Amino acid sequence: MYRLLAPAKINLFLQIVGNCLDGSGYHELVMVMQAVSLMDRVELMPRRDRQIKVRCTNPAVPCDQRNLAYKAAALLQRHFPACQGVEIFIEKRIPVGAGLAGGSTNGAAVLVGLDLLWQLGLTQQELQHFAEELGADVPFCLQGGTALALGRGEQLTPLPDLQDLSVVLGKYRSLSVATPWAYQTYRQEFAATYAQTPSEQEKARQEGGSATLLQAIQQHDLPTLAASLRNDLEKVVLPRYPLVAQLREQFLQAGAIASMMCGSGPTVFALAPSADEGYTIMQRVRRALPDPDLDLWVCECCPHGIQLETP
């Protein structure tokens, strides 16, 4: 049996440059992603037959072929037909439909775990290739840490770790946002601003502000880092979800050095320079917004992606 830890991610930067020029229907993005220590646990047990079975502690998660953990196992089984089946148990701690890549990180964990369980001997490059086939966020989830992600999110460049930075997450339990809806709505409203040609897209990438953030990360310059966060999807999600906009504002009032929506939302993250300050911010927000529907977590930046759980 293998037990893996699968971290969630936040986006410190999410710029929508335009449509992918390969006609795939995806968006061309510039993202800076950060793995955080809010993690799911994924257990893999061998089966004597060829079936793939998924169980999950959260009843909102589909356990059939729609589950990304299932899809990851099926993908490897297709490529390695001699492999047996697997029993997958997901202990869900990452909220679902939250913009934290919960499904993608489960898919990444199954790739890593099955490589070991089925003794496939995959290289890092082969694992990344399977991850890319599963979804745009899966390659990052595999690798974790801090990274620049281009294209649909699959072209990754590792960045220096953001040590000592505390991340407070807030999510209303009853709210969830479907990622495809957020991107489609953005396209409906902002297609006129899209860069249309390779050179226009390159210009948009250079002028989008990511270089300032990358430099701030290199130099561990927190004020500049805080000032250069960006998430274009806020433009469509915040006006429709006033509670999310209010939570973001509340984090800033509580003393966060920065606050922004995670990916397509509705989770909001706040940054603090230490765990102590992270807890203080969480308590202040809890007092200001005493809504039992609001879940809050304090976590850290995670310097890794999928890892085996150590006993």
Q: Which stretch binds ligand ATP (CB under 6 A): 94-102, 194-202, 212-220, 237-245?
A: 94-102
Q: Around Cβ 47, how many Cβ atoms within 10 Å? A: 12
Q: Does 149 bind ligand ATP (CB under 6 A)?
A: no
Q: For this structure, is 92 an active site residue?
A: no
Cα separation, 204 vs 232, whole angstroms: 13
Q: Considering 40, 71, 115, 137, which one is annotated as catalytic?
A: 137
Question: How far, CA to CA in Å, does 29 sit from each of 92, 104, 147, 189?
Answer: 28, 17, 13, 17
Q: Which is nearer to ligand ATP, 90 or 302 (CB)?
A: 90
Pick one of 31, 83, 134, 137: the residue that binds ligand ATP (CB under 6 A): 137
Q: Does 255 bind ligand ATP (CB under 6 A)?
A: no
Q: For this structure, is 22 an active site residue?
A: no
Q: Which is nearer to ligand ATP, 31 or 216 (CB)?
A: 31
Q: Which is nearer to ligand ATP, 101 or 298 (CB)?
A: 101
Cα separation, 219 vs 242, whole angstroms: 35
E strands along the chain, which residues?
2-19, 27-46, 52-56, 86-91, 146-151, 155-159, 166-172, 230-231, 258-261, 268-272, 294-300, 307-308
Q: Does 101 bind ligand ATP (CB under 6 A)?
A: yes
Beta carbon of residue 57, minimum distance to ligand ATP (angstroms, whole number)? 11
Q: Which of residues 174-193 bind ligand ATP (CB under 6 A)?
A: 179
Pick one of 18, 99, 139, 153: the residue that binds ligand ATP (CB under 6 A): 99
Q: Which is nearer to ligand ATP, 31 or 257 (CB)?
A: 31
Q: Which stretch binds ligand ATP (CB under 6 A): 93-101, 114-122, 155-163, 220-228?
A: 93-101
Pull the structure tokens for residue 16.
Answer: 């929508």
User: Across the strands, what pairs with 91?
Assistant: 41
191: three-class secondary structure by DSSP: helix
Q: Does 38 bind ligand ATP (CB under 6 A)?
A: no
Beta carbon of residue 300, minimum distance to ligand ATP (angstroms, whole number)? 19
Q: Does 102 bind ligand ATP (CB under 6 A)?
A: yes
One DSSP character per residue, 92-151 reads --SPTTSSS-HHHHHHHHHHHHHHHHTT----HHHHHHHHHHH-TTHHHHHH-SEEEEEE
Own/partner pairs, 193-197, CB within 8 angstroms, 24+ separation:
194/16, 194/17, 194/18, 194/19, 195/17, 195/18, 195/28, 196/18, 197/21
Q: Which is nearer to ligand ATP, 114 or 195 (CB)?
A: 114
Q: Does 97 bind ligand ATP (CB under 6 A)?
A: yes
Pick one of 4, 6, 12, 61: the residue that binds ligand ATP (CB under 6 A): 61
Q: Which is nearer to ligand ATP, 51 or 215 (CB)?
A: 51
Q: Does 166 bind ligand ATP (CB under 6 A)?
A: no
Burial class (CB in 10 A: 0-12, 13-18, 19+), 163: exposed
Which positions touch ligand ATP (CB under 6 A)? Answer: 61-62, 66-69, 90, 96-104, 106, 137, 179, 263-264
Active site residues: 9, 137
